[in-house]
Amino acid sequence: MSVISTGQAVVLGVVEGLTEFLPVSSTGHLKMAEGLMNIPVDDDAVVGFTAVIQVGAIAAVFVYFFRDIVRFVGAWLRGLAHRDQRENHDYRFTWWVIYATVPIVVVGLAAKSLIDGPLGSLWVVALSLIGGSVVMWCAEQMARFKRGEDAVTAKDAMIVGTSQILALLFPGFSRSGATISTALIRDLDRVAATRLSFFLGLPALTGAGLYELKDATGGGVPKAALAVGTLVSFVVAYASIAWLLRFVQRHSFNSFIGYRIVVGVLLIGLLVTHVLP
């Protein structure tokens, strides 16, 4: 029997696309949506499904930032071939993204049983939503917005990339929330912090989706549902990326902070009243 129907896949695709890159926790929202639709959130096939539809969202990043990615990859290849090209910022930035992905890969593989088990609890999601909001608020108060994307250093990339571990271990914290907040604390401006978050997410999220593909396709999720969920995620995520980059040019992240607290408190209420298991 299928654990996820095509209709449910559409809903989850919309949720994933809307929340993957907004600092509100896609994992938290997906777990809540799955719980409300009586989908077993700890089923290997469901865990795999949510990771694979993330690939739809990350594909939207590849398409949206296609010119930037071509520029980075081109500079990287030229730097590999010609020593005199290695001082190019794009060449070095590409290496920094690769290096910054290593910590989350190591922790993800080492702690997979905890992440898929106890740390996947909806209680952890609720508390992480609220706790992450506190971190985001502190980041907004500490930020000086002094530096743009051209001023990103290797230290920035490593620190911001490593902060993704917070979202990995505490679903509800939000990968984009963790990375953007850390970048703000490093005095990057909001647009630079947001773009850095996107680029750092490319290898981590793509790898996670491919790694989980075997569970999603072999554990009760129809291929049609998987395809539909991924496609919907792609379309909605593309629109979400475009909106977010316009939003951060003129607004703070305070509205997201308030929203996260409301959702966290609501989730605690649903758990206490046993509306969600």
Q: Give the Cβ contact number of residue 183 at 10 Å.
A: 28
Q: Is 261 a member of any domain?
A: yes
pLDDT at 221: 74
Nearest alpha-carbon partner for 120 in 192, 40, 61: 40
Q: Is the per-residue pLDDT at 34 higher than 90? A: no
Q: Is 173 a member of any domain?
A: yes
Q: Is 1 a member of any domain?
A: no
- Cα(24)–Cα(131) distance, rounded to whole angstroms? 12
Q: What are phi and psi of 147, to 5 degrees?
A: -125, 145
Most confident of 47-51, 120-124, 190-194: 190-194
Q: Give the Cβ contact number of residue 251 at 10 Å.
A: 11
H, E, C per residue of 137-184: HHHHHHCCCCECHHHCCHHHHHHHHHCHHHHHHCCCCCHHHHHHHHHH
Q: What are phi and psi of 182, to 5 degrees?
A: -65, -40
Q: Model pTM?
A: 0.88
Q: Is 184 a member of any domain?
A: yes
Local confidence band at 2 (pLDDT 50, 70, 90 cut-offs): low
Local confidence band at 172 (pLDDT 50, 70, 90 cut-offs): confident
Least confident of 170-179, 211-220, 221-230: 211-220
> Which amino acid makes up residue 178?
A
Q: Is 277 a member of any domain?
A: no
Q: Judging by beta carbons within 10 Å of its beta carbon (0-12, 13-18, 19+), is residue 109 exposed, middle or buried?
A: exposed
Q: Is 61 a member of any domain?
A: yes
Nearest alpha-carbon partner for 72 in 59, 58, 84, 85: 85
> Which amino acid makes up residue 263?
V
Convert the pLDDT of each residue in 75-101 to its tens digit.
Answer: 999 999 999 999 899 999 999 999 999
The tally of domains found in the chain comes to 1
Note every long-range contact of 204-207, with CB atoms under 8 Å and residues 24 or more positions apart, other chains counting. Answer: 204/101, 204/104, 204/105, 204/164, 204/175, 205/20, 205/54, 205/55, 205/57, 205/58, 205/175, 206/55, 206/58, 207/101, 207/105
Q: Is 157 a member of any domain?
A: yes
The domain in which residue 260 lies consists of 6-272
Q: Is 75 a member of any domain?
A: yes
- Cα(58)–Cα(28) distance, rounded to whole angstroms? 18
Local confidence band at 118 (pLDDT 50, 70, 90 cut-offs): confident
Mean of the per-residue pLDDT values for the chain?
89
Q: Which residue has the higher pLDDT, 38 or 136?
A: 136
pLDDT at 217: 60
